[in-house]
Each structure stands twice: as C-alpha cells, then as structure tokens.
Amino acid sequence: MMGSRFNSFNFKRALSYCKRNGLRSTYYKALERIERDRDERDYTTVAMHERPTSVELNEQVHRKFFHSYKFSLLVPAYDSDPKLLKEMMASVVKQTYDNWELCIADGSEDDSVENCVKEYKETLDKDTADKIKYQRLNANRGISGNSNGALVMAGGDYVAMLDHDDVLSPDALYEIMDVLDEGLIRDGNVYRNRYKAVYSDEDKINAAGTRYFDYHKKPDFDIDLLRSNNYICHLFAVKTSVAVKAGGFRSEYNGAQDHDFIFRCVEQLDPSEICHIPKVLYHWRSTPSSTAENPDSKLYAYEAGKRAVEDHLKRLKIEADVTDTKHLGFYRVKYHVTDPSVKIMDRSEWETLTKETIEKLNEDLIMVISPDIKPLTADYIEELAGVLKRKEVGAAGGKIYDKKGRIDSAGYVFDEDGNLKPDYRGMNGNYSGYLHRASIQHKTDGLAADCMMIKKEAIVYKDRPVMSDKYITVYDPFAEFKRRS
C-alpha cells in the first residue's frame, strides 16, 4: 500500500500541494499520509471479512418489510468505460433488496453506453432487465444536466446518486430499508417514516476492483462538518419529494453538484429526520483522472464547493465568509460578529458559579480560559463568538496544543464506555487528523473545561453549571491555544 504511493503521479500531486502551501506543510502532509497508510494496510482484508456472509445475504433476500419503498438509483453517463459501467450495473442487480430501478441518463455522443446497457440487459431475465431504464439525451448536458435527466426518469419513493463507474455493496439498499423500517411512526391509523434522508460510510476501490482503501468513517449528521466538507457524499438516499422540491442539480455547481444538492435537501429537514448508517455501502472508484484519486484533476470542483457553502449560508441568512483551507475541498466558515459581549474568567471561577450569579451576569457569553493557557489566535474571542451567534450552538472551543506542540485537545469525544476523552491528544500538531478533522470545524461531544466559550442562555445549573442538551457544541480549530506547562 505504502509503496504504491511512491510514483510519478503522486509526486505531481505533492508538487502541486507544495506550490500552494509550502515545503514544511508538504513534508508533514506526506508523513501523515504514510502513517495512515501504515495503519490501513490491512483494510482490504478487513473490508472483505466484514462483508455479509452468503447466509446473511440470503436471509436479507427473504426479509419482508412493513413498507416496501422503491429506490430510484440515478446514474448520469457520458463516455463511460463499458467494463466499469457493467460492474456498476451488476452491483445494483445483486442487491438483496429488489424494489429498485436504475435510471441511466446518457449524454454520450456515440452509441457506446447505449450498446453496453443493451448488451448487459440481454444477460438478465426480463423482470430484472425492465428495472434498468435507459434514456439517450439529445446532448451532453454536463454532470448536473445528465443527473437531472435521470431524476426525471425516477418513479421511486427515494432517490440516490450512483456514479457510472462506482459500485454498491450487495446489502446497500437492504441496510437503508432496515433503518427506514425502524423509523416508522404511527400517526393515528397511518404509519409514516421519520427518516427522509439516509447516508452511509464509504471507501475507495481501485480500477481493477481488487483493493479497498481510504475508509471514510462518518459521524451522525453534522451541519458544521458539512459546511467544512461534503462528508456525506455517497451513499445518500433522500425522499423523491424532497429532491424535487430542492430543484434537482444545478450546472453552475458542476463538480460539487452533490454538495449543493445535499445542502438544499437537508435545509428542508430537521436533523432528527436524517439517519447515518455506520457501514460501508458504497465503493468510490479511484482512477488517475477522478477526484477520488487526484484532487488536482478537477480544481474547478472545489471552487464550486466553496460557492455551494456560501449560497447555503445566504439562503439561511447567515452572515459569514467562506475561505479555502490547505486541503482541497475543505473550507473554513468565519461567522460575522460585531462587539460580542463576553465575560472572561478562569476555570476555578467558572466552577463556583451558581444559578443566581449566572443570571446576574451582564454579558451574553462566558469565555473560560485558565491562566496556564495562552491564546495563539489574536481574534479568538471574535472567532468563537461568531460560532455562538448561531441559535443552535451553546458552546465552542478551539484547538489546544501542549507545550511540546502536540495536540492536547481537538474537542472531546465519547469512548466505548461513555467517557469523554480528548480527541487527537498526543498527535503531532502539524498533522491535520483523520480526514483533516483536527483542522476543520465540526460538532463535538465536549470541550476542555478550562478553555471554552459558552452562551449564557445555554447554561443550566444542577450541582454545577453545565450546557443544556438543547444546544450543540462546536470545535473550531481556527481559534488556537497552547498550554504553558
């Protein structure tokens, strides 16, 4: 795995990164990449081992659900590789849940895709072949236009995007149906489903289909992370009515049309209506020309992604600036705030607060920062206060380094025993973390109690002041701190 990284192709990628960010950043990026490859060297074996057994797949085939929702898989095609196109279609045909339709909208100038689909359908029984719907478009309309062509063909309850060279795991639609079945709510004499959007984890697969890598383990729905990066991506299934109301796909966001589309879908929903399946159900094909393998191959896509974030914020009337980070496709959102009202205190003072003293504070925000912590960011007050300007956020904190420059805390997460532990503690401070999570804004389970900003209205007092569970906590790495000892 590591040896495969050392080639002329990746050398060009490193050179491009170096031009943007400098030699030092490139050195640490390469070093971190090598360490991740080392940690993931057995992933292909693990991925194969964790797949459902033949017995489990057979059981899935025979399971009956309360509602048998129909899925429309949308495939925009253009000059597709026949071999990979057939592998994509085969991965759909092999689904253990069989109420699906495959909608292929083809913008190719020749008959290659049409002939490929026709040839493949001839190998299937009639009922299965009829579920593969093909439409030859009058012209290539680009990725968004071709995707809309597939959306128009959709007759299912839910739609999901599938690239023409990617593949689904055989249990992908079954797993979505499983959570939809669990999400049924009785409303009088009618059952409705609480989940209107579902997404899964994903990984990458090489061109030959023999190696799986870059496992993307995703969190539950996190709007801050989505504004930092399109972490949802694949597999994303959403109610057809939501997709239609969103307006489908927009060509001005080509390359990041999925990011823009997901924003316009989730803006219609409450977070409780969005479900994450922590299983790899989608394998993203990695080839030298794809963004999966070569981010520099489609730089326009990342500019489109930035615009998608900006327009999403504008629709919600949230004033903020969106800028690029060192890593392509990852963004920083700086929320506007003017003259925030902040009371600064250390941890010992914070821990002695009572309900009465909290209510008497004139300031709207409390910045807890102990004397042994030094701010590295001059505008850390404005940075954190900007995040807290949002009504759903109750507390925010930044990245804390120890005196040796290692990460002391990049937010806190619950471990398997339900205890809060500092995320990325001990990691080289020059590293960006798993999928750059230590370097981008995202929701977190907790913050360092001696370095955080909390909204006064979010504080409830029990035996000590704590944040109400009605609010979320945000990790913002653009406010940096360092422990003096």
List beta partners, residue 375.
481
Task: Indicate if the pLDDT at residue 367 is higher than 70.
Answer: yes
- Going 332 to 263 to 275 to 84, the CA torsion angle's sign is negative
Two structure tokens written together for 127 = 């009922």
What number of other Cβ atoms are within 10 A of residue 407's Cβ?
22
Q: What is the pLDDT of residues 388-422, one digit of tens each?
A: 999 999 999 999 999 999 999 999 999 888 899 99
Task: Indicate if the pLDDT at residue 263 is higher than 90.
Answer: yes
- H and E: helices and strands count for the chain: 16, 25
Give the pLDDT score at 31.
77
Tell me whether strands 465-467 and 331-335 are parallel, antiparallel or unpaired.
unpaired
464 CB burial (10 A radius; 0-12, 13-18, 19+) = exposed
Task: Indicate if the pLDDT at residue 424 is higher than 50.
Answer: yes
C-alpha triplet 265, 271, 263: angle, nearest 5°: 25
- Report the distance separating Cα 409 and Cα 401, nearest Å: 7
- Report the distance separating Cα 450 and Cα 153, nearest Å: 56
Over residues 418-434, the mean pLDDT reads: 93
| Amino acid code (one letter) for 319 | E
C-alpha triplet 105, 137, 282: angle, nearest 5°: 15
DSSP string, 8-73: HHHHHHHHHHHHHH-HHHHHHHHHHHHHHHHHTTTHHHHHHHTSPPHHHHHHHHT---SS---EEE
Q: What is the pLDDT of residues 205-228, one digit of tens each?
A: 988 888 888 899 999 999 999 999
Q: What is the pLDDT of residues 293-332, one digit of tens each?
A: 555 567 889 999 999 999 999 999 999 999 999 999 999 9
- Report the distance separating Cα 221 and Cα 273, nearest Å: 10
Report helix, strand or coil for 308.
helix
Question: 361, 465 in Cβ contact below 8 A?
Answer: no
Question: 17, 26 in Cβ contact below 8 A?
Answer: yes
| Amino acid code (one letter) for 108 | S
Tell me the pLDDT band of 250, cut-offs 50, 70 and 90: very high
Over residues 459-478, the mean pLDDT reads: 91
- What pTM value is reported for the model? 0.91
Tell me, what DSSP letter sits at residue 174? H
Tell me, what DSSP letter sits at residue 142? H
Average confidence score pLDDT of the chain: 91
- Going 233 to 236 to 240 to 241, the CA torsion angle's sign is negative
Tell me, what DSSP letter sits at residue 469? T
